[in-house]
Amino acid sequence: MDINEKSSEFKSGFAAIVGAPNAGKSTLLNHVLGEKISITSQKPQTTRNRIIGVVHRPSSQIVFIDTPGVHRATTKLNIRIVDTALSALGDVDVALILVDVSNPDPESESFIVKRLKKKKRGVILALNKIDLVNKSVLLAVIDKWAKAYPFDAVVPISAKHGDQVEELLESMERLLPEGQPLFPEDTLTDMPERFIAAEMIREKVFRLTGQEIPYSTAVTIDSFSKKKKGALVIINATIHVERASQKGIIIGKGGTKLKKIGESARKEIERIAGAKVFLKLFVHVQKDWSKDTKALRTFGY
């Protein structure tokens, strides 16, 4: 096979991962990339922005868009988050709907299916967390979804353990248009390093604080510089909260909580940057920022 013939058979395109909160979208993206770029936690609505990850395969390039969880939104912040997720459906070649079979969210899932019916593209259903249910439950879920929408493929998977993820990628590959790679072979994501650093800090806030605090926080990178020919990265970042009481919780007694958040985030950023990281965190109270349109825009939402 000559080069021209090979290139004519290559496929590339965009695929949005859409689903209810905590369906496992970010876990799946990190697994197929073989690298963590999208933050995860046990709390729903961890992802707030579109995250792009590029999967390079022998005969295709799949550009994944990890989206925030679709849910009934009431606050300004959450309305923007859900709009971000659903708008991705209009920009892609393949829509990958992810459903948690162990803990379904009928309201969100029904809403997603209604939106799918308004757009024309390939649609694949991935039934995630099959390791948590028995076969009879899984078969009932497959039957239910087969009646709900004419999916191009239905693939039961475990994003956490990688079960049948290769089969899922093959199903997606079949729906991609022919075309040259959209990104160079060494590209994992197009998200800037500053953004990824902020996300890793925000993940640690989600993981290390109680139920209320994570949803009242945003992270901004005040400065990001590289020294010693890239061997050292110096980052100053601010964790924004909505009330003074939340600031106290983030900092913790004697600064212990903030120190733990910083240490955990620094290790993640060092792994991704491949360099030594000096991270200094500040905490700032910006009253009711999640309800303030100007603040939402400033924080990138």
Point out the domain boundary residue: 146, 175, 204: 175
Provide the token pair at 74: 């009431």
Do 156 and 56 fall into the same domain?
yes
Taking alpha carbons only, the member of 65, 62, 78, 87 closest to residue 11 is 62
Strands 51-57 and 60-66: antiparallel
Is there a single domain that holds both residue 170 and residue 266? Answer: no
Q: Provide the domain limits for residue 218.
A: 193-298
With a cut of 90, say whether residue 21 has pLDDT above it: no
pLDDT at 155: 96
**One domain, residues 78 and 124:** yes
**22 shares its domain with 145:** yes
Distance CA 180, CA 12 (A): 6
Q: Is 19 helix (H, G, I), strand (E, B) or coil?
A: strand
Could you give the percent of the chain with pLDDT greater than 90? 49
pTM of the model: 0.74
* Range from 29-43, 87-101, 139-153, 225-239 carrying the lowest mean pLDDT: 29-43
The verdict on 70 and 168 lying in the same domain is yes
Pairwise CA distance, residues 111 & 15, whole Å: 19
Q: How far apart are CA 196 and CA 236, in angstroms?
A: 14
β-bridge pairing 276-285 and 232-241? parallel
CA 228 to chain centre: 32
Residues 6+ apart with CB under 8 A from 120: none
Please identify which residue in the block is written with the tokens 């290769």. Answer: 166
Confidence (pLDDT) at 214 = 65
pLDDT per residue as tens digits for the range 207-265: 888 767 767 888 999 999 999 888 999 999 999 999 999 999 999 999 999 999 999 99
Domain identity same for 126 and 269: no
Strand partners, 56: 61
Closest residue by Cα to residue 219 from 245, 196, 248: 196
Mean pLDDT confidence for 139-166 = 93
Q: Are residues 220 and 144 in the same domain?
A: no
52 against 141, higher pLDDT: 141
Same-domain check for residues 96 and 160: yes
* CA pair distance 210, 204, nearest whole angstrom: 11
pLDDT at 71 over 50: no
Q: Are residues 113 and 200 in the same domain?
A: no
Whether 127 and 272 share a structural domain: no
Query: CA-to-CA distance for 175 and 179, rounded, in angstroms?
Result: 12
101 and 136 within one domain:
yes
Looking at the 3D structure of the chain, how many domains does it have? Answer: 2
Question: Is there a domain that residue 271 lies in?
Answer: yes
Of the candidates 80, 93, 81, 26, which has an alpha carbon nearest to the alpha carbon of residue 53?
26
First to last CA, the chain: 48
CATH of the domain at 111: 3.40.50.300
Q: What is the band of 133 on the pLDDT scale with cuts at 50, 70, 90?
A: very high
Is the residue at 186 inside a domain?
A: no
